[in-house]
Structure 1
Amino acid sequence: MASLINLKTFTDSRGNLTVIEKVVPFDIKRIFYIYGVDNSERGGHRHHETIQAAICIRGHCIIYNNNGKDESSFILDSPDKCLLIQPEDWHSMHSFSDDAILMVLASEYFESNDYIYTPYPQYEYHRV
């Protein structure tokens, strides 16, 4: 199941420095970011192989997760929060603030065959 981790952040009078080092359980092969989202929902899939680490580096959004056994929603509203999303986590992102920038680190290069769009059958999909 997806899990939230706090990223190490150094703060002083000059500002904040957040470090992503030795906290994601994979080698990073791809980085992408989502921004300028209207009231649309993004995602709506899970993966065969890809592990992801999602960080809302500006603004906020909500990520819904369902691993076929449990479901939960995570509010990403600080650049020092990182949501680890496992391959089995069917996830969608919604409720983006106007200024939101969601950065995602991925363990695999893009491969369309890695995506599974069908939600788990025992759950009727709904946002929590």
Structure 2
Amino acid sequence: MAYLINIPTFSDTRGNLTVLDEAIPFDIKRLFYIYGVDSSARGGHRHHKTVQAAICIQGRCTIVNDDGEKTEIFKMDSPHKCLILETKDWHVMKNFTPDAILLVLASTSFDATDYIFDPYEHKE
């Protein structure tokens, strides 16, 4: 199940310094960022092997997550808030503000065969 962690941030009169060194619970093999998003949704998948950490380092966005059991909505609105997405977490990122930058850290290098695009089928 996806979960939030707070990344250590040190603040003083000069500004803020947020440190990822030991906050991310996996070895980082890839990083990318998403920005300039219009009203489109991004994501719409889960992974066979990859665990991800999502941080909205500027602006705001929403991540809707479905782990096959329940659906949760995460408001990503702070650069020291980090959402850990496990392999079973089918997620969609949306509602990006015009200035939003979403940084994503991944536990594996890119592999197109690692993606599962079909959402869970829930029995009502």
TM range (shorter): over 0.9
Is residue 54 of structure 1 aligned with residue 54 of structure 2? yes
Aligned to 2:75: 75
Extract structure 1 runs of 4+ deviating beyond 4 A: none
Aligned to 1:104: 104
Where 1:49 maps in the other structure, the secondary structure is coil
What TM-score does the superposition give when structure 1 sets the normalisation length? Answer: 0.94
Moved more, 46-55 or 17-26: 17-26
Q: Percent of counterpart pairs with the same letter?
A: 60
1:84-99 matches, within 5 Å, as 84-99=84-99
Do the aligned partners of 1:55 and 1:82 also contact (CA within 8 Å) in 2?
yes
| Structure 1, unaligned runs of 5 or more | none
Matched residue type, 1:75: K
Where 1:113 maps in the other structure, the secondary structure is helix
| Structure 2, unaligned runs of 5 or more | none
- Following TM superposition, by how much is the alpha carbon of 1:123 offset from its aligned partner in structure 2, in angstroms? 6.2
What TM-score does the superposition give when structure 2 sets the normalisation length? Answer: 0.97
Is residue 19 of structure 1 aligned with residue 19 of structure 2? yes
- Following TM superposition, by how much is the alpha carbon of 1:47 offset from its aligned partner in structure 2, in angstroms? 0.3
Do the aligned partners of 1:68 and 1:123 also contact (CA within 8 Å) in 2?
no
Where 1:34 maps in the other structure, the secondary structure is strand
Query: How far, CA to CA, are the matches of 1:49 and 1:21 in structure 2?
Result: 22
Matched residue type, 1:121: E
Matched residue type, 1:91: H
- Write out per-residue CA displacement over residues 27-64 of structure 1, whole angstroms, 9 at most, x where no aligned residue: 10000000000000000000000000000000000000
Query: How far, CA to CA, are the matches of 1:78 and 1:122 in structure 2?
Result: 31
Aligned to 1:10: 10
Where 1:91 maps in the other structure, the secondary structure is strand
Matched residue type, 1:38: D
Where 2:65 maps in the other structure, the secondary structure is strand
User: Cα 1:47–1:93, aligned 2, differ >3 Å: closer, same or farther?
Assistant: same
